[in-house]
Chains A and B, each alone.
Chain A
């Protein structure tokens, strides 16, 4: 992919009467500006990351040694549940939507998202949804304690009162996601600058395009399944209860029909980010642009056919297990194509290692490790041993933390100059990278070992032979957590415009329309679409 812009119009911008920024709190509350909304999404997600992370640290503190020391088992389950829910729905997804808001219009040469008011609505739903979710901590019985997967009947007959709040906040959160996804799709289909054909779009746009389809396909299914949980618990239905002809496993089928595409929702935009950063710092065009697009589409397509790999132990008929095993393994092929393309992009490039690139490289390595453990999990007979152990926890933190979260950090460093107009603090950012890289592996790598040795997940207390490794893991957890405060410092510093002023294109090898507008990007950009050749 290469885009050449013939008509930049920064001169035009200066004269545009539109370019006054509203000020004060109203700017943020009533905004229709994609950049403001993107910024709000990103801050929201970061706050949620800290909240969810603090819960993780609570988990790690309790697991530091065997025995119950700090919390009650029931509260521990609330921590696990809310940690998962908040990280998935509050931290990672909104971060990607924030990036999409900021970057997609800039990358395709659009003045804004296609439906700006709805855009603001999508955002403002989230704080309310999470306030409701978190308010359940103050109810008798506390917050939901049934895992982020809320399997019935633990979430129906046997759950506490807060389930209703959980369900309804999931509903409005889902509405927010669906509206956000519709906005992305319509923006991409309808707002591309003249000459920006589909196969010229940056991969970040492509991956988000496909992600958005996944979102509108599966968020409604989540809405449906939480509705059934609600009626089962409060209105006497028996969807998940054999006594009335239902089946608890039906819940799992519906949940994972949503849940598996959901995990790809959390990784496809990462692929886009990394596909932007690696060529920029390898100073060499992305290898296999077209195959990247096809690979992303195949991953998305396959993601609808693999859901039951989370359910191998539920007693499915053998042929069903086999089908889902084969389909799951197949996903390695398109994902492999992507990994190989990134490596080949680096091959014989002229690489330099600014912070975004460091995170991108760490992403490729660590995500691949997570993906390979995913392949191990896909092997049904062995998954009987891995399932619901810390091996699974290790797998998904590799793909989620060193995958999704690392890519988000890479993106933040890559585009921070464009957002803030100043370069980030180089020393602090490197410190952040190295301390994160080391601590995250101390945190998650040993989990593979305890998992294989037989430590189940979602337990507040464990047998003695797991003690040493858990202590190490917990130390890693605290180190990694505190390392994120460095990130906070870097971002705050840049947001306060402390730092060297950034040029329009701070990265030598970067490509794309976003680098044709000044840094910081003016409040309104591309009022007149650029011509892309």
Chain B
């Protein structure tokens, strides 16, 4: 965009290096986004930006003029004036008027952004360390959305791919042309749900629900991130939204409802079955890596003083029921959340089995979905 001109005007030639070399391949300005609102926000941004540039240019021009012309080395004699009421009134009033000129469109846009009434659809978005949970209030759909970028890429063992850090296992899906109301909240600390292309950024405050809305007109994939420091993996909490034509969306929604129903049926079925230890270990490792490793680390060592290690110490090598309890109920007042709504019973059984036998824990314990079920019955 106009970035080149801008930096020039701001009088900082040293900085061209960056923008100039890649001006076309690199985004250097705010996105225009894909919604009405984001377009308005972009225009507002450019308006304010140019006003600031003009002010800057005038102020710095006056200054550099005197630096060039009114210097001692040119033998000038300094003037003596040190007051001028008229000028001072002018430069109080004019900026004030400029500010009013910026405030008016800002106010109008803000009021529009904050108006969540008359929405077509509501989605409850819950942040938790470090994933997003989406629950469609008008459908029987809910799921967790975890970052999909593998650790190997982060630690440089695999080449980084295009959407590095901005890809998730299950994106949020919305229909185009509909006003989507987001009900944003959190399970633990404050997160912030942000998709630049919608110009929506709203904090997810635990215990409160904030509302926001957007309406996308064209199908597409839109990426964003958590925008509030929420602990260790704050950087690894992306948001991906896919907008689909209403028909495609309905198809997706039905498929998703079906998937969840199947999952519940499968859950029922597995309750009556035993899985072999190998199966459990394999599934358990998968679950551990995707759900638990962020805190307890892939090798189970945890982060001393922050997240307990699970190797050779504590609950993971002692009481099996306590282990189920921790995963089923979470530990209130700590980052260890309840996984009862995130994982199926067989998955919980698997991850517990895994933790109790991996990394040299070798307790030999095998936990089955039925054990978890049994625990949950006694518990409610």
Contact = CB atoms under 8 A, between A and B. Distances in A.
Given A154-B189, A326-B103, A337 B63 contact: no
Nearest to B62: A343
B373 interface: no
Interface in A419-453: 438, 441-442, 445-446, 449, 452-453
B205 A314 contact: yes
B26 to A, nearest CB: 7
A459 B102 contact: no
Interface stretch (A90-98, A198-206, A265-273, A345-353): A345-353
A369 interface: yes
Interface stretch (A21-29, A62-70, A124-132, A410-418): A62-70
B164 to A, nearest CB: 5
Interface stretch (A32-40, A102-110, A317-325): A317-325
* A interface residue count range (under 10 / 10 to 19 / 20 to 34 / 35 or more): 35 or more
B132 to A, nearest CB: 15
Nearest to B27: A453
Interface in A38-76: 66-69, 72-74
Contacts of B44: 379, 381-382
B274 to A, nearest CB: 38
Nearest to A382: B45
B148 interface: no
Contacts of A352: 71-73
A468 B111 CA distance: 37
B56 A332 contact: no
Contacts of A290: 83
Secondary structure of the B side of the interface?
Answer: mixed
B265 interface: no
A461 B237 CA distance: 11
Interface in A118-158: 139-142, 145-147, 151, 153-154, 157-158
Contacts of B273: none
B142 interface: no
A329 B103 contact: yes
Contact of B15 (A147, A446, A468): A446
Contacts of B111: 318
A284 interface: yes
Contact of A446 (B18, B165, B334): B18
Interface in A252-293: 282-291
A286 B81 CA distance: 9
A499 interface: no
Interface residues of B, number: 110
A333 B71 contact: no
B66 interface: yes
B199 to A, nearest CB: 6
A74 B306 contact: yes
A441 to B, nearest CB: 5
Interface string A161-199: 100000000000000000000000000000000000000
Given A73-B232, A283-B72, A468 B99 contact: no
Interface in B85-143: 87-88, 91-92, 95-96, 99, 102-103, 106-107, 109-111, 113-114, 129
Given A349-B70, A349-B76, 18 more contacts: A68-B154, A141-B305, A157-B189, A158-B334, A248-B205, A314-B210, A329-B99, A340-B59, A346-B70, A350-B71, A375-B52, A380-B110, A382-B30, A382-B44, A388-B192, A438-B14, A449-B18, A461-B154
Interface of B: 3, 7, 10-12, 14-15, 17-19, 21-22, 26-31, 40-41, 44-45, 48-49, 52, 55-56, 59-60, 62-63, 66-67, 70-73, 76-84, 87-88, 91-92, 95-96, 99, 102-103, 106-107, 109-111, 113-114, 129, 153-156, 160, 162-166, 188-190, 192, 194, 196, 199-203, 205-208, 210-211, 224-236, 303-306, 333-335
23 contacts: A141-B303, A142-B306, A154-B229, A157-B334, A160-B306, A242-B207, A286-B82, A287-B84, A313-B201, A325-B103, A325-B107, A345-B82, A349-B70, A351-B70, A369-B56, A372-B52, A375-B48, A376-B49, A380-B110, A441-B12, A442-B15, A461-B235, A465-B27
Interface of A: 66-69, 72-74, 77, 139-142, 145-147, 151, 153-154, 157-158, 160-161, 241-243, 247-249, 282-291, 313-315, 318, 321-322, 325-326, 329-330, 332-333, 336-337, 339-340, 343-353, 361, 364-365, 368-369, 372-373, 375-376, 379-382, 384-385, 387-389, 438, 441-442, 445-446, 449, 452-454, 456, 458-465, 468-469, 472
